[in-house]
Amino acid sequence: MNELATYALRLGDDALILSHRLGEWIAAAPQLEEDIALANIALDLLGQARTLLTYAGEVEGAGRDEDALAYRRDEREFVNCQLAELPNGDFGVTMARQLAFASYQYELYDRLRTSQDATLAAIAGKAVKEVAYHRDHAAQWVLRLGDGTDESHRRMQSGLEEIWPFVDELFEPDELTGRLAAAGIAVDPAALREPWDSYVGAVIARATLSVPQPVFRGRGGRQGIHTEAMGHLLAQMQHLHRAHPGASW
């Protein structure tokens, strides 16, 4: 797969896998209003995934459509960041993951709007409005959980600790992003770290929480190295589609 297609696939896999995780919250959220909010976010992300995967398939030019890419690749061919595939945990873990990821997507799409690739620019133009809302939703919850009750403070801090080892990977550049960013097509992930730290740090401070200092760092998602959770996620997601090869749904 060529580099542009791979880049689109990374963005698409991020959205696809996180959307899947959020879908698991439907009918299990703490309040009905939150079932609706999380479903909204999941649907936005799925929409992003579908356009990005479709584009990746077109650029690749091997006849793979969104479903071929979503349902017929194996674990080692997925190039999402590991943060996206983490199990939901409790609402504190999920909101921590949302704060980290939506803030990353916001900075990314905000800059991708001016990509030299017209399709990526258009996708980013639409997506940035959606993720601005996702980021705000996460921030509102991190504030309330961090500065709510003793129990919620403990759980929210714990949620941050759980996901923080997977933050660095979001901002790791590699040769592919280097070349594409130089061509004005992709966004250099490293450039996103500072504005991300600024926004997320401010939310965490206001929420009376502290920024974790993890020893362990997750890495390798862009090379198809995932956590053990990924295999189970894909087994569930893909099994019906794969059980009926060639079928239309």
Three-class SS of residue 1? Answer: coil
Please state at what angle helix 118-146 crosses helix 193-206, rounded to 10 degrees: 20
36 binds another protein per the rule CB under 8 A: yes
**Residue from the set 4, 123, 143, 180 that interacts with another protein by CB under 8 A:** 143
**Residue from the set 17, 59, 70, 230 that interacts with another protein by CB under 8 A:** 70
Q: Per CB under 8 A, which region of 140-148, 163-171, 184-192, 221-229 contacts another protein?
A: 140-148
42 binds another protein per the rule CB under 8 A: yes
The C-alpha atoms of residue 17 and residue 10 are separated, in whole angstroms, by 11
Least distance CB 87 / another protein (angstroms): 13
The C-alpha atoms of residue 104 and residue 222 are separated, in whole angstroms, by 16
Structure tokens at 55: 């584009």
53 binds another protein per the rule CB under 8 A: yes
Site for another protein in 74-113 (CB under 8 A): 90-91
Degrees to nearest 5, angle at CA 95 with 27 and 30 = 30
237 binds another protein per the rule CB under 8 A: yes
205 binds another protein per the rule CB under 8 A: no
Least distance CB 228 / another protein (angstroms): 17
Buried/exposed code over 38-57 (b: 16+ C-beta within 10 A; e: otherwise)? bbebbebbbbbbbbbbbbbb
**Sign of the dihedral through C-alpha 161, 166, 170, 172:** positive
Least distance CB 178 / another protein (angstroms): 31
Query: DSSP string covering 159-182, please?
Result: HHHHHGGGTGGGG---HHHHHHHH
Q: 226 and 47 in contact (C-beta within 8 Å)?
A: no
208 binds another protein per the rule CB under 8 A: no
202 binds another protein per the rule CB under 8 A: no
By CB under 8 A, name the binding residues for another protein.
Answer: 16, 20, 23-24, 26-37, 39-40, 42-43, 46-47, 49-50, 53, 66-67, 70-71, 90-91, 136-137, 140, 143-145, 147-149, 151-152, 155, 236-237, 239-241, 244, 246-249
